A and B are shown apart, each in its own frame.
Chain A
Amino acid sequence: MRPVYAISGGVSKFAKARPDKTFQAIVKEAYDYAIADLELDFPSFTRCVDGSVASYFSDHFTRQLMAGIMVQDYLGLVPKPGHRVEGGGATGGLCFQEAWKSVASGHMDVCVAYGFETMSRVETWKGNEFIALASDVSFDYPVGGFYSGYYAMMVTRHMKEFGTTVEQMAAISVKNHLNAYHNPYAQKRNRYTIQDVRDAPMVAWPLTRLDICVMSDGAAAVILASEDGLRRLELAGARIHHPLVQVVGIGRGTDAMRMADRPHLDYDTFMRDYATEQERNSDETRTYYRHLWERGTRYPGVHSFRAGRTAGNMAYKMAAIHYPLDDLDFVELHDAYTSSEIQTYEDLGLCRYGEGGPFAVSGKAFMPGIEYGLDLPEAPECPVNPSGGLIACGHPVGATGLMQGVFAIWQLQGSIARHFGDDTLQVKDPRRGAIHSHAGTGTYVTVSILEKAD
C-alpha cells in the first residue's frame, strides 16, 4: 500500500430541505468547492482525476435507482471509473475508505469520494420508516421499527449496567449544538441547557428530540491522491495545501443486523479479542473489567458496539496509536444520538467501557475557549465533534462520513478559519485526528485516522 493524501474537500450547506437543486447539483456545490480550494479550474481537475466512489444510503429517499451514475454524469466524470457504496449510516465512511483503497492500491492516483442524501422529499415519519427498513423486515421492523427506539433500548441497558444518566447524555447535546454555533455549514446552531434537552419532546424514552440528529439534505466531497497524483495536480496548476494530510489508518467492523442476536461474551474472550492495547497492558484496567464481569456485564450485548471497537482497534494498529486519548488531537464521530456518542467514547478507547457517562461530563471532549454553561471539572484533552457532529450539523446519510473527512482535513491543515470564517473551532496545532462512521445499531462501523504528513 502506498501513502494516500486527503488534499481537499467541500461540503454543501446542510439544511432541512433543499428543493432549490436536484441531488446532482447539490453534490456539485461540494465538488466545486473542493476543486476551487486547490485553485484549479473544473476542466483541469477533470483531466487529473482518475475516477470516483459515490455514497448515498437510500434509493427510497430519491425514488431513483442508479443515482450514483447521475451524479457522475452531472460532474462530467463519465467515462471514468466509478461505483456506489452503501452501508447504512456508515456509507460515507465506507466511501472514504474505498476511495483510499483505489489510491493505496495503485489503481488510481487521484480519486474523488462524493456523497449525498436528500431526505426532505418525504415527510419526517415516512423518512423514519425508510430508515427503519434498514432493520430485519421479518423480525424487527414489524414489531415497531423505529431507529430512535432501537438506540433508546441500547441506552437503557447502558444506564442500568453502568449508571449512565440522561444529564450526561444531554451534556453532549449542549456541547455539539454550541460547537456548531461557530460552523456555518451546520443545520442547527443553538445554545441549549441540560434542562432544554430534557424538556424537549420525548421521542423514545429516555431520548428527547434534542438527543437525536435531524434529517437533512446535503452533500460532501473529498479528494484523495497518491504522491504521483500530487505531482500531476501540481503540473496542472493546483495549489496543494501544506501541511499535507495523510490517511494513515483505516479500520472497519461489523455486527449482527438484529441487535438481539449479538453475543454476551465472557471476560477472557473480551480481553483477548476486543480489549484495546492500552486496556490489555494495564493491570488496573484488567481488574476494573474483571469487576464489571463479576457484576454481570457481558460483551457486547446491546450496550456496546463491537463493530466500533473492532474498527478502532484495526485503525489504531495501522496508525500506531497506542493511547487513543493522548494520541488523537480530535475525533469527529457518528453522534446520531447523544447516547451513541457515549457508547462510542468507549468503543474508541477514549475511556473504558462503563465510563462513557462520566467521560461525557469530564470536559475532556469539549473545545477549549467556548463557554458551554456547564461545570466541567477537567480541561479539554481531545475535542469530540468540534464541528457539532451529526446532532447539530445534520445527517444527510451518504454525505455525513465524508463531511467528517472534510472537517478533519481542514483541522489538520489549520484552515478552519478560512473555511468557517471563524477560528473558534480550530483545534490548536493538531497532529492527528480520527473520523468514525456508523451504520444502524452498529452493524457497519468505519474508523479512519488522518495525520499531518509534514
Chain B
Amino acid sequence: MSQIPSRREETLGGYIVHGIPFPFDSDPENLAFLKKLAPIQIEQEYHITYLHSYGQDSPWFAGLSNRRLLASHDPESGYTYANPRGHDMTSGHETEWIDITERSAKVHAFTVCHFGSEEFLPETPYVLALIEFEGVDTLLLTRLLGVDPDQASLDWIGMPVRPQFLRNSKLKPTDVYFAPASLG
C-alpha cells in the first residue's frame, strides 16, 4: 500500500523581500541585537551548457547509434574492456575495437533505484545492472528492462540478457540497454 504523505514537500522557492527588519538607529545596544538576527538565505541559480567531447571513445557511441556494441581490446594480450578504453591498463598499448553485440551476456550485479539524483528521479524505479560478457574481462553498467522492479531478487544475477538499442540515438550510453534474453 502506498504511503499517504502527512507533510508538504519542501522546495527552494520563496518570496521576494522588499524590506528586512533592522534597528531604527545605530546605538550600540541595537547593533548588538543584530547578533540575534536569523540568517538571510537567498536563491542562487546556476545553469551551464557544456560542449562535452567523447574524444577517443567516440566510435563506441557511433556504434550504439548503428545498433552495434563495441569493446576495446589489447592487440597482444587480448584483454578486453566492455567500457571503451583508449589504452590498455597493463601494457599501455593503444587498444583496438572489437564488436561484442552478439556475445552471450548475463547480469553480474544489479539494484533497483527507488530514488535517484534529481535528473533521474522522474524515472524511478529503474534498474541498474552490471553486465558480464563471454570472453570480455570487464563489465558494463547499463539499465535493465523487462524485470519487475517490485520483485527484485538475487536470482536476477546470472540471468542471460540481450542488448537492445534505441532507434533514435541520443548519443548517450543509454542508447543501449539490456533485457532478459528469454523475452526474445
B interface residues, Cβ below 8 angstroms from A: 10-12, 38-39, 41, 44, 46, 52, 54, 57, 81-83, 85, 89, 108-121, 123, 126, 128-130, 137-143, 152, 154, 157, 172-174
Contact = CB atoms under 8 A, between A and B. Distances in A.
B143 A205 contact: no
A369 interface: no
A243 interface: no
Contacts of A126: 117-118
A260 B82 contact: yes
Contacts of B114: 201-205
B112 A204 contact: yes
A302 B132 CA distance: 12
A128 B109 contact: no
B137 A263 contact: yes
B117 A129 contact: yes
22 contacts: A20-B39, A63-B44, A128-B117, A129-B117, A138-B57, A143-B128, A143-B141, A145-B117, A146-B115, A156-B109, A156-B111, A157-B130, A157-B157, A160-B154, A205-B114, A207-B111, A259-B141, A260-B82, A260-B139, A261-B83, A261-B89, A264-B137
B117 A139 contact: no
B108 to A, nearest CB: 7
A207 B115 CA distance: 11
Given A125-B118, A138-B173, A157 B128 contact: no
Given A125-B116, A153-B130, A202-B114, A260 B174 contact: no
A145 B174 CA distance: 12
* 5 A-B pairs closest in CB distance: A152-B111, A129-B117, A260-B139, A157-B109, A205-B112
From B46, B123, B128, B172, residue with most partner A Cβ within 10 Å: B128
Interface in A112-163: 122-123, 125-126, 128-129, 131-132, 137-140, 142-146, 148-150, 152-154, 156-157, 159-160
Contacts of A198: none
B142 A143 contact: yes
Given A145-B117, A202-B114, A156 B154 contact: yes
A280 interface: no
Contacts of B173: 138-140, 142-143
Contacts of B126: 144
Contact of A125 (B38, B44, B115): B115
